[in-house]
Structure 1
Amino acid sequence: MSSTVDLAPAVFRASQQDGRYPRPQLVRPAWTELSGDWGFAFDDADIGLAARWFADARFDRTIQVPFPFESAASGIHDTGFHPVAWYSRSFDDNDLARAGFFTGQRLRVHFGAVDYRASVWVDGTFLGQHEGGHTPFSFDITDAVAAGVAEHSIVVRAEDDPLDVTQPRGKQDWRVEPHSIWYHRTSGIWQPVWLESTNPLAVTLVHWIPDLPNATVRVRIDVSRRPTAGTTVCLSLSVDGDPLTQATVAVTATTQVFTIALPAQVNGQAYEELLWTPESPRLIDATLTVRTGSSTDTQGTAVDVVHSYFGLRSAAIARGRFLLNDRPYYVRSVLQQGYWPQSHLASPSPEALRRDVELIKELGFNATRVHQKIEDPRFLYWTDRLGLLVWGETPGAFEFGATAVRRMMAEWTEVVERDLSHPSLVTWVPLNESWGVQHIAHDPAQQNYARALVALTRTLDPSRPVISNDGWEHIDSDILSVHDYESIGDTLRERYSDDDAKRRLLSDLGPAGRRLLLAGQEIGERPVMLTEFGGISFATHYADSDAWGYSSAQTADDFLERLDAVVAAIHSSSFLAGFCYTQLTDTLQETNGLLDDNRRPKVPMHLLRAIITQTAPDGPPLG
């Protein structure tokens, strides 16, 4: 599949793209996606490197990229243990032309994600290796593409040891068959692979951090090489196609940070018109033009043009509340696994990512917690554009030690760097339920690790709240989150009723028998949220023996009654700042979704929405 985008600078708006571009906040006109048929081979004996498969990749099987080999969508559909797999694909001059490549340009191959470790060759030349199964990477392949050769070969060796629990793996099972809350693995290439051409001097990263009180936005731009004297970048900002402001800044280093004033925001009575919220997801478009040879924006040579967008919003906490744009905002969230039966963690299509956002909003939620997964950036584009808050949570490792710490710190850094400019993302969650730090209540080393993750996150991005360990055993969390799968509504109502109940809850062992606050941690003004609850199993197409949940419903009416009891109890709390219901969809044997695993509602959607929002249903009654 080849792809191009019409990026006439005066016309194209990054906020209105169609959702296919793999890097939605840094868009260029010419690119080509290397999806579809690739050669494929398992390497269970791990002989491929010694046998130089990278130099003569004649693999006898075909896989559909970008789908993991465990999935049916890949065409391989082998869920067994295969620690090493090889991929190969040819590309030719037509692909290079679609990527905009010509003499004097640089050509890069991009990978959205390869789980877990990837080594890459082009025409037998080793380009490099990337470790981390959920974050993007790229290589400059210009010099590896031999002149005068009509067809080129790209080879990828993917290594993913299913028994290595020091890898950040999230909900991917370490057993052959899924059990309990874990599901099939996602190994190898599982996000888009694409070619892109640029000038030697090109933008490689754009970050946006708004400052609402000062009517400014802080911008960071990284470029591919040290610029020559006189290099500038011109930024043109617009809203709905109307100019907002323009600024030209000298670029003197490979990383340039500067602040842009937003004159439209100085009127305190009108500044909220441009703010981003789920109810009004206003996005600001940006065109960045890099020029060399002059210190003005009207002269010199344009060597790179990229398109981006951002949203004006702030996320903070105060006085027991979560604040969006400095106002209390009650979070109605749903836990989302981002898993599809036919393609596992890989989205079956770009459109499926949009549809998940639409479904969540149709159900009455204003937020989602993407659970134990770093979601495709194209999903975050739709949460930005359609208006849905996101909690960014990393997949956890299961073992504590130097290797796990090194891997998590490196991958988490890449995650924050990739996603911090998305206005919809409002909270960071580096640890969940003490996964990988099972003894944090007593082990100073594990406590220091949690503190270090929080400190690292705040260093990279000081603009959002951070939860050190979602669910319990908090240490230095901005939000005190609780996981509670009590199925009786009256019990929940009493447990979360008022401030006295809050003090009892947080000073004692929590609902799961774990300490909610570690020693020395005070409640203070930090908000409390119930970030996992419900989990009611209603198996619509599973045998009862295969279905799993925290409690079970037998009929549609029973399901609605149970759901209403627990959601109403949480809505009645005087101190909770928000909630997250478990969960959006069924995931294999975990049948506690509001929707089944094919995204079909288990009961009429309008009845689910009425319960989530605690309003009168606006459609026909059940039955």
Structure 2
Amino acid sequence: MLTEERRVGAATAQDGRYPRPQLVRADWLDLSGAWTFAFDDDDRGRREHWESRGSLPGVIQVPFPFESEASGVGDTGFHRVVWYQRTVLRDDLPVGERILLHLGAVDHDCEVWVDGRSAGRHEGGSTPFTLDITDLVGDGDVSITVRAQDDPADVAQPRGKQDWRHHPHSIWYHRTTGIWQPVWVEAAPAVRVEQLHWVTDVPRGEVTAQLRLSRPAPAGTSIRIQVAVGSDELATLETSVSGREIEVPFRIQRQTNGQAYEELLWSPSRPTLLDATVSLRVPGAAEDVVRSYFGLRSVGVEGGRFLLNDRPLYLRSVLNQGYWPASHSAAPNADALRAEAQLILDLGFNATRLHQKYEDPRFLYWADRLGLLVWSEAPAAYAFTPEAVRRSVAEWSAILDRDRSHPSIVTWVPLNESWGVQHIAHDDRMVSYAKTLVQLTKTLDPSRPVISNDGWEHADSDILSIHDYDHDAGRVAERYATREGILSAPFTLPGRRLIVDAAQRADAPIMLTEFGGISYTENGPEDAWGYSTATSAADLVERLRALVGAVRSAAPLAGYCYTQLADTGQETNGLVFEDRRPKAPIEELRAIFGA
């Protein structure tokens, strides 16, 4: 039966279930839950036309990867090809001119059939895609079949922390195969808003709505935009439009009051979001009404500091793997994403670095709404080949398109610790690749700093970020006491340099973006490890107090990122256990990491 109400209010008041929080329509149906399922280890499903033969023999809970317990399968072995099938009752489908099938993420290659007929394909294990299935839907119930292919040994795929071995080892985790983000259908007009971005100019109080339509606008088409904060209307305009790519600039007149303009700015201490309603009006056709939101804020770097709304802000961040023991890379449910954002804030942090994962957009919604700053980082491929570059660039571009209107995202990180560019210090091609990713990012989104290669070996990076797991607080305080000392000293990791590009700006802010990693466990796995070990909760607190104190006393540092939020498999260096229970009284942790 239909599980979603076919109405929608302000986008800032949504409950966090809608899978695309900045472009919300009223008519949609969540397809989470039981699907039939099968492994296809011999890759014979296509030859035997499994898309047409009826239900598959097994059952899986979507959107959890089959490797996870939450999926109901819990098989962590190597299975390169998997199939899914779900029948949707015709009466449950949203009613509209076109029916759109959305898949949030399917790792890695995907093919979809509707009632046995091909609906489309997609490549990219972390990026969303949409298929217009209207012409494939008949008068009866609708069968949706998905085939996913993910080669565990293909290290040219962007894979992040997914292990290529049978069992997780070191810092790698169970693989994520197949569907792992929401699947849903919605109704929409034939000419509709396909993508919506908000570009803000804080000093001028100006906003530009950037729209991409499903097809070029017919003659006589107009766009109406209404912006409000709470019940206060801030701007309303209507203009005629043409083409498929449309820009509509407008001003928020309230921002002309120079003494009051900060009241609408978005920041961690005051995460003000502005609601927007966009109506696309096409002569003789149904109106497309979407709800959205945005934040007025600016981000930059200057004079060795990170700036938010033109003011220095010290970043107190925590590394977040986005991994749960029962559901792995997929969130256990929508509420868990809000709880994760709130937990990070409750621990005293103002930021999180999403590590080696493009996170579910519903987490970004809560970061926007609660005032949590986000560093968005790409999952790495481990090979440096033309195919690895092509895949990585394609997925990175798609994520920039998906996420760049979230005010919470304040930094882009396309590479981490030279993963996939292991020889960047000696290979000019890899330096060029890192710089190309920076310039591509700034071409698509010039509004945020970009870190070319988080941790070391920087090239054209807006922030010089360093990873250092020395557990001696005295040595850490001495190492980061002066900017000159940081830039001139031999780098702490043997064989690595801080800068590999002669053109790298030397005045960039310096941040310690991985440190700590102190392991503490009550009854952890036999292979539990961290970068150092605490013997008790009290010992953990003392070690944290000394180490974080040393970092915060280092005047040249513009911020830090502690490793890590939660225990993850054999990595027991979290501030909380896998089930998100704090390892020490949360007020003591907040006193260490808070402002």
Whether the TM-score (by the shorter chain) exceeds 0.5 is: yes
Post-superposition shift, 1:561? Answer: 1.2
| Secondary structure at 2:317 match in 1 | strand
**Alignment-derived partner of residue 37 in structure 2:** 40
Post-superposition shift, 1:337? Answer: 0.2
The answer (yes or no) to whether the contact 2:101–2:132 under 8 Å persists in 1 is yes
Say yes or no: does 1:248 pair with 2:238: yes
- From 51, 55, 65, the equivalent of 1:58 is 55
Query: Are residues 517 and 3 of structure 1, via their aligned partners in 2, closer, same or farther at CA, if it must alter by over 3 Å?
Result: same
Post-superposition shift, 1:210? Answer: 0.6
**Alignment-derived partner of residue 514 in structure 1:** 496
What is the TM-score with the length of structure 1 in the denominator? 0.94
Which digits, 9 at most, give the CA deviation of each residue in 1:253-290, with x for residues without a partner?
11101211110111111111000001100000000111
Which digits, 9 at most, give the CA deviation of each residue in 1:409-457, with x for residues without a partner?
1010000000000000000000000000000111111111111111111
| Secondary structure at 1:207 match in 2 | strand
Alignment-mate amino acid for residue 81 of structure 1? F
**Alignment-derived partner of residue 501 in structure 1:** 485
**Alignment-derived partner of residue 436 in structure 2:** 452
- From 368, 374, 378, the equivalent of 2:352 is 368
Could you list the runs of 5+ residues in structure 2 that have no partner in the other structure? Answer: none
Which digits, 9 at most, give the CA deviation of each residue in 1:55-79, with x for residues without a partner?
1143110000010000000000000
The answer (yes or no) to whether the contact 1:205–1:222 under 8 Å persists in 2 is yes
Say yes or no: does 1:535 pair with 2:498: no
Post-superposition shift, 1:333? Answer: 0.2
Alignment-mate amino acid for residue 31 of structure 1? W
Post-superposition shift, 1:223? Answer: 1.1
- From 559, 562, 585, the equivalent of 2:543 is 562
| Secondary structure at 1:226 match in 2 | strand
| Secondary structure at 2:447 match in 1 | coil
Say yes or no: does 1:612 pair with 2:593: yes
**Alignment-derived partner of residue 205 in structure 1:** 195
Matches within 5 A, 1:390-405: 390-405=374-389
The answer (yes or no) to whether the contact 2:163–2:173 under 8 Å persists in 1 is yes
**Alignment-derived partner of residue 596 in structure 1:** 577
Aligned equivalents of 1:57, 1:521: Cα separation in 2 = 60
**Alignment-derived partner of residue 301 in structure 2:** 317
- Percent identical pairs in the alignment equals 56
The answer (yes or no) to whether the contact 1:227–1:253 under 8 Å persists in 2 is yes
Post-superposition shift, 1:249? Answer: 2.1
Aligned length: 595
Matches within 5 A, 1:417-436: 417-436=401-420
**Alignment-derived partner of residue 297 in structure 1:** none
The answer (yes or no) to whether the contact 1:232–1:251 under 8 Å persists in 2 is yes
- From 211, 225, 229, the equivalent of 1:235 is 225
Say yes or no: does 1:86 pair with 2:78: no
Which digits, 9 at most, give the CA deviation of each residue in 1:327-356, with x for residues without a partner?
101000000000000000000000000000
Could you list the runs of 5+ residues in structure 1 that have no partner in the other structure? Answer: 294-299, 615-623
Say yes or no: does 1:571 pair with 2:568: no
Post-superposition shift, 1:41? Answer: 0.3
Aligned equivalents of 1:140, 1:588: Cα separation in 2 = 39
**Alignment-derived partner of residue 440 in structure 1:** 424
The answer (yes or no) to whether the contact 1:483–1:512 under 8 Å persists in 2 is no
**Alignment-derived partner of residue 165 in structure 2:** 175
Aligned equivalents of 2:7, 2:120: Cα separation in 1 = 31
| Secondary structure at 1:246 match in 2 | strand
The answer (yes or no) to whether the contact 2:189–2:285 under 8 Å persists in 1 is no
| Secondary structure at 1:449 match in 2 | helix
Which digits, 9 at most, give the CA deviation of each residue in 1:28-59, with x for residues without a partner?
11100111110100000101111111111431
**Alignment-derived partner of residue 216 in structure 1:** 206
- From 386, 390, 396, the equivalent of 1:412 is 396
- From 561, 569, 575, the equivalent of 1:580 is 561
| Secondary structure at 2:343 match in 1 | helix
Q: After the TM superposition, which of the residue ranges 445-454 and 366-375 deviates more from structure 2?
A: 445-454
Aligned equivalents of 2:309, 2:466: Cα separation in 1 = 24
**Alignment-derived partner of residue 551 in structure 1:** 532
Alignment-mate amino acid for residue 595 of structure 1? V
Aligned equivalents of 1:301, 1:88: Cα separation in 2 = 34
What is the TM-score with the length of structure 2 in the denominator? 0.98
Aligned equivalents of 1:114, 1:519: Cα separation in 2 = 36
Which digits, 9 at most, give the CA deviation of each residue in 1:520-567, with x for residues without a partner?
144532100000000000012214x42111111111121111111110
Post-superposition shift, 1:301? Answer: 6.4
Aligned equivalents of 1:407, 1:465: Cα separation in 2 = 23
**Alignment-derived partner of residue 26 in structure 2:** 29
Task: Give me the CA root mean square deviation.
Answer: 1.3
Aligned equivalents of 1:360, 1:478: Cα separation in 2 = 25
**Alignment-derived partner of residue 14 in structure 1:** 11
The answer (yes or no) to whether the contact 1:119–1:130 under 8 Å persists in 2 is yes
The answer (yes or no) to whether the contact 2:51–2:116 under 8 Å persists in 1 is yes
The answer (yes or no) to whether the contact 1:84–1:160 under 8 Å persists in 2 is yes
Aligned equivalents of 1:521, 1:490: Cα separation in 2 = 33
Aligned equivalents of 1:519, 1:265: Cα separation in 2 = 41
Aligned equivalents of 2:95, 2:474: Cα separation in 1 = 63
The answer (yes or no) to whether the contact 1:57–1:155 under 8 Å persists in 2 is no
- From 68, 72, 81, the equivalent of 1:71 is 68
The answer (yes or no) to whether the contact 2:461–2:504 under 8 Å persists in 1 is no
Say yes or no: does 1:120 pair with 2:91: no
Aligned equivalents of 2:286, 2:52: Cα separation in 1 = 39
Post-superposition shift, 1:512? Answer: 5.1
The answer (yes or no) to whether the contact 1:4–1:29 under 8 Å persists in 2 is no
Aligned equivalents of 1:519, 1:288: Cα separation in 2 = 45
The answer (yes or no) to whether the contact 1:536–1:559 under 8 Å persists in 2 is yes
Say yes or no: does 1:270 pair with 2:260: yes
Task: Find runs of 4+ consecutive structure 1 residues off by over 6 angstroms.
Answer: none
Post-superposition shift, 1:95? Answer: 1.8
| Secondary structure at 2:36 match in 1 | strand
Say yes or no: does 1:131 pair with 2:106: no
Aligned equivalents of 1:187, 1:84: Cα separation in 2 = 9
| Secondary structure at 2:146 match in 1 | strand
The answer (yes or no) to whether the contact 1:2–1:34 under 8 Å persists in 2 is no
Matches within 5 A, 1:463-474: 463-474=447-458
